[in-house]
Structure 1
Amino acid sequence: MAMFVHLTASANAERVRRSGVRAASHGRDTDRSRGVYCFSVLPSYTLTHQWLRELSRRSGPRGLVAVHIRLPDDEPVTAGRYYQDPTHVTAAEAVRRIAALRDPRGWEVFVPRAVTRGEVHRVRTVRQVTGWRYAPDAHGTAPCTCFGCRVRGEYGSRRLRQRRPHPLDGPPPAAAVLLRQIAAAGDPGDPEQLVQALHWFGLRRRGPVDQLARLADHPDPEVRRALVWAIAKWRSPAAVELLGRLAQDPDWTVRDAAEYNAPEPRS
């Protein structure tokens, strides 16, 4: 039997003891099957629980617990380094490959199914300061503040973005500054300047819809399309109404963007 460890929020501990680990994650192979991520149990405590600090960034206030699971040696799993194409192997082969690595940090094992209650060996607490964050060897490297890397609501993220603003992903200028840029673009306005200002409005949670509505009549469809993406996540009645208006735009690219971002009807 091959032994693995799965890290989950401590709030899930009782449910895991009662019914096992549900298949809640998507694998990285082509069929994107649902299953459970885990890692081989190694002699090193730090390497065995290396994912703990990275996963703790999204675990909630109660921390994580370690779920030790036993799988048959011939159980089909995938193994590989994160964000790389995994290899289909058996559970025993995954243990052998990981144990033979000089540096197994960043590796993961994926079980393409749920883990049953009978396969849960034990659930125990772990030290919450074990492992790496962001990526192995990330210590000493300046963190990236782009939209894809940052975690909204993470401790210190706002100060980090203000200290190291990303050239494309903000933080965005104040709404008053952006409105002055739009006014300076003229009437109907330089498309390049308007698109740039609307890009920054799209990174804000809300904005002055009434002062942007005039851009829905701009002669350049690129500006109207940028307006759609700027207000796409704003859910005020005025923003929803403006999206509906843009959904009737004569340009098909603008209509397509507006229909894609239309809010789901309430049941």
Structure 2
Amino acid sequence: MFVHVTSAANAPRIRRSGIRAAGHGQGGARGVHCFPVLPSYTLTHQWVRELARFGSRGGLVAVHLRLADTEPVLVGRYTDRARNAQETLRAAEAVRRIAALPDPRGWEVFVPRAVTAREVHRVRGAPRVAGWRHLPDAHGRRPCTCAGCRERGGYGARRLRERLPHPLDGPPPPVRVLLERVAAAGDPGDPAVLREALHWFGMRRRGPLDQLRPLARHPDPGVREDLVWALARWSTPGVAALLDGLAEDPHPDVREAVEDVRDG
């Protein structure tokens, strides 16, 4: 028996036709994320609080589903998904593997297909307070309030940002100061110094494109990638042409950054 957490608005459709393969799994596969039903009620519904952070329609429900013991599924921590490190097991073995773990928080089971209505056992309301948020061990840690980690519009986000301001939140130094830092970094330049300067340039709407253009040929791919993100919101003429050149960069991270900027 497995449990899948979804919006309550999806419950009528799930009872009628099952669960669509809307989840994104390892290697770009589409399917359904779920977790085994364990003796611990809290562990079984551990994903509820984390999924609630992203909103729902009418609250959340827990969909209990039955799979054949020989059904192939992907098993692993959610962090293993990006590294293609999740393991393919049969459903029965997946339950045994997770149940035997000393700490199964953060683990998931991915069914690489849709779930039929006949496999849905029942749909019930999900508990609102079970599980973890952000990370399985986040409770008690000092939260990071940088632009990449903080939750915009989340409950208490403004008070948290005021109480724990992040040193990289700004305001950015003047352009003259940033250009002096870039020049002082040398040729080709210290990557750490250049990436910090590009971080501040990324907070602006316009900037000295001609002075930063040589960084597109910097030997460190991290500098070139940060250059892409720094230019992402600029309205300075010539940005599109520079991004066109970076779209042909030999490093995949730089090319992917250009794609993300253009898709966003």
TM-score bin, normalised by smaller chain: 0.7 to 0.9
Is the 1:228–1:258 Cα contact (8 Å) retained in structure 2?
no
Write the distance in 1 (CA, Å) between the matches of 2:135 and 2:143: 10
Match of 2:199 in 1: 199
Which consecutive unaligned segments of at least 5 residues does structure 1 have? Answer: none
Partners of 2:24 and 2:65 lie apart in 1 by: 19
Q: How does 1:103-182 map to 2 (within 5 A)?
A: 103-145=103-145, 149-161=149-161, 163-165=163-165, 170-171=168-169, 173-175=170-172, 177-179=173-175, 181-182=177-178
- Write the deviation string for residues 1-27 of structure 1: whole angstroms up to 9, x where unpaired: xx1100112233233233221222233
Q: Percent of aligned positions with the same letter in both sequences?
A: 53
Aligned to 2:77: 81
Q: 1:21 matched to which residue of 2?
A: 19
Q: For residues 116 and 133 of structure 1, do their structure 2 counterparts lie closer, same or farther at Cα, with a shift above 3 Å needed?
A: same
Q: How many pairs are equivalent?
A: 245
Q: Secondary structure at the match of 2:110?
A: strand
**Quick one: which amino acid aligns to residue 43 of structure 2?**
L
How far the C-alpha of 1:38 sits from its partner, in A, is 0.5
- CA RMSD of the aligned region, Å? 3.8
Change (3 A) 1:62 1:196: same
CA shift digits 1:83-120 (9 cap, x unpaired):
24333222122223333344332222111111112212
So what's the TM-score if we normalise by structure 1? Answer: 0.72
Q: Which protein has the larger Cα radius of gyration, Structure 1 or Structure 2?
A: 1
Distance in 2, matches of 1:220 and 1:80, equals 38
Structure 2 CA distance, aligned partners of 1:116 and 1:88?
21
Q: TM-score, normalised by structure 2?
A: 0.73
2:46 to 28, 50, 73: 50
Give the secondary-structure state (helix, strand or coil) at the position aligned to 2:70.
coil
Alignment of 1:226-241 (within 5 A): 228-232=228-232, 234=233, 238-239=235-236, 241=237
- 2:62 is matched with 66
Measure, in 1, the Cα distance between the counterparts of 2:79 and 2:227.
34
Whether the 8 Å contact between 2:209 and 2:239 is mirrored in structure 1 is no
Does the residue aligned with 1:261 lie in a helix, a strand or coil?
helix
Structure-1 separation of matches of 2:16 and 2:48: 23
Secondary structure of the residue aligned to 1:17 is helix
Query: Which segment drifts farther, 91-100 or 190-199?
Result: 190-199
Q: Partner of 2:155: helix, strand, or coil?
A: coil
How far, CA to CA, are the matches of 2:118 and 2:86 in structure 1?
Answer: 27
CA deviations on 1:38-82 (whole Å, 9 max, x unpaired) are 111123221210111112111347432111111112211122333
The separation in 1 between residues aligned to 2:256 and 2:3, in whole angstroms, is 44
Task: Give secondary structure in 1 for the equivalent of 2:66.
Answer: strand
Q: Which consecutive unaligned segments of at least 5 residues does structure 2 have?
A: none
Contact 1:181 1:197 in 2 (8 A): no
| In structure 2, C-alpha distance between the alignment counterparts of 1:133 and 1:149, rounded to whole Å | 13
Residue of 205, 229, 240 corresponding to 1:244: 240
Deviates more, 1:89-98 or 1:37-46: 89-98
Equivalent position SS for 2:238:
helix
Give the 3 Å change call, closer, same or farther, for CA 108–208 of structure 1 in structure 2. closer
Distance 1:150 1:74, change over 3 A: same
- Cα separation, 1, equivalents of 2:58 and 2:36: 24
